[in-house]
């Protein structure tokens, strides 16, 4: 029997998740159907309930519902709990709703496996203090970077992360101005400026020699952040397509117990950075 999965979001028409999961299913011989469901802003709980009542086995959750996905979970993972957000649900065990957040592990897998950029001993900077950064902090900290820093336009939101994650990792937090005089080996843009095309106020000297500049937004070519990095002499730039595919692979494995090969899917979805 075909098992049903879906991604919920608003808007969701642009989502690559149905394509990614159908490629995974074909490659691994799994019998699943995966659709995108446009979810009314006030209809998240009802949509989840209806999908589940119809026999649905699991859901990916996109913006703006990741906080609500966490709230309806009966069994959230530790990383979903710390992020306060979930991007994946699994229905099993009576009326249990298991929730996890694979965005951060997807990012780390992309950096380390696909981009050959180990994080151990590196100075890592996250720009932005929203849900994507929250989800990324634990998986990055687990790789033991020399320094993990968060800079955000609203500095108080970065400082709040320092408090929330204090039991798990040390964080340097602040606004962009406080980055002056510091250099980082890995700089990750986890703001939404890749979509809005705004430039960030990054100080000169932010990128250490040989640094990697990583833009979480994907499929937009060279975003203002990546252009800034290139103008600062950075040769290694990447966008978030690998993160997207890697988080999907974690979800697929969680649901189906089979780990798909991500490389051909990343290659198929990559938009050149020009």
What are the residue numbers of the active site?
Answer: 66
With left for phi above 0 and alpha for psi between -120 and 50, is residue 181 left, alpha or beta? left
Residue with tokens 């990583």: 214
Q: Using CB under 6 A, which of 38, 75, 198, 261 touches ligand NAP?
A: 198
Q: Using CB under 6 A, which of 200, 208, 232, 269 touches ligand NAP?
A: 200
DSSP 200: P
- C-alpha to C-alpha distance for 199 and 61, rounded to whole angstroms: 28
The two three-digit tokens of residue 26, written as one number: 């074909």
Query: What is the smallest separation between the CB atom of 181 and ligand NAP, expressed in angstroms?
Result: 21
- C-alpha to C-alpha distance for 211 and 136, rounded to whole angstroms: 19
Number of residues that bind ligand NAP (CB under 6 A): 27
Residues 6+ apart with CB under 8 A from 31: 1, 2, 3, 25
- C-alpha to C-alpha distance for 133 and 48, rounded to whole angstroms: 26
Q: Using CB under 6 A, which of 193, 223, 228, 262 touches ligand NAP?
A: 193
By the rule CB under 6 A, 195 interacts with ligand NAP: yes
Q: Using CB under 6 A, which of 112, 192, 230, 270 touches ligand NAP?
A: 192
Torsion angles phi and psi, residue 71, rounded to 5: -65, -35
Query: What is the smallest separation between the CB atom of 120 and ligand NAP, expressed in angstroms?
Result: 23
- C-alpha to C-alpha distance for 13 and 24, rounded to whole angstroms: 20
Give, as ranges, the residues between 214 and 253 that touch ligand NAP (CB under 6 A). Answer: 216-218, 240, 243-244, 247
Query: What is the smallest separation between the CB atom of 137 and ligand NAP, expressed in angstroms?
Result: 12
Give, as ranges, the residues between 105 and 144 that touch ligand NAP (CB under 6 A). Answer: 128-133
Closest residue to bound ligand NAP by CB? 130
Residues that bind ligand NAP (CB under 6 A): 103, 128-133, 152-154, 157, 190-196, 198, 200, 216-218, 240, 243-244, 247
């Amino acid at each position: 029997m075909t098992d049903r999965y879906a991604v919920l979001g608003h808007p969701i028409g642009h989502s690559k998740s149905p394509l990614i999961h159908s490629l995974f299913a074909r490659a691994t011989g799994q019998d699943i159907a995966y659709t995108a469901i446009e979810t009314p802003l006030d209809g998240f709980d009802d949509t989840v309930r209806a999908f589940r009542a119809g026999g649905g086995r699991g859901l990916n959750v996109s913006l703006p519902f990741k906080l609500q996905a966490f709230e309806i979970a009966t069994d959230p993972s530790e990383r979903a709990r710390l992020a306060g957000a979930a991007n994946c649900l699994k229905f099993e065990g009576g009326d249990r709703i298991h929730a996890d957040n694979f965005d951060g592990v997807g990012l780390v897998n992309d950096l380390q496996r696909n981009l050959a950029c180990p994080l151990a001993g590196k100075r890592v900077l996250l720009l932005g203090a929203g849900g994507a950064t929250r989800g990324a902090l634990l998986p990055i900290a687990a790789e033991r970077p020399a320094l993990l820093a968060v800079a955000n336009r609203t500095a108080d939101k970065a400082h709040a992360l320092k408090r929330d994650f204090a039991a798990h990792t040390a964080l340097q937090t602040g606004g962009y101005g406080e980055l002056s005089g510091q250099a980082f080996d890995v700089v990750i843009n986890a703001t939404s400026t890749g979509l809005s095309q705004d430039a960030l106020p990054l100080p000169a000297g932010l990128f250490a020699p040989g640094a990697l500049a990583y833009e979480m937004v994907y499929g937009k070519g060279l975003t203002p952040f990546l252009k800034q990095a290139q103008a600062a002499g950075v040769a290694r730039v990447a966008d978030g397509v690998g993160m997207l595919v890697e988080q999907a692979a974690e979800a697929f494995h969680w649901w189906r117990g089979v780990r798909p090969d991500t490389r051909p899917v990343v290659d198929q979805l990559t938009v050149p950075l020009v």
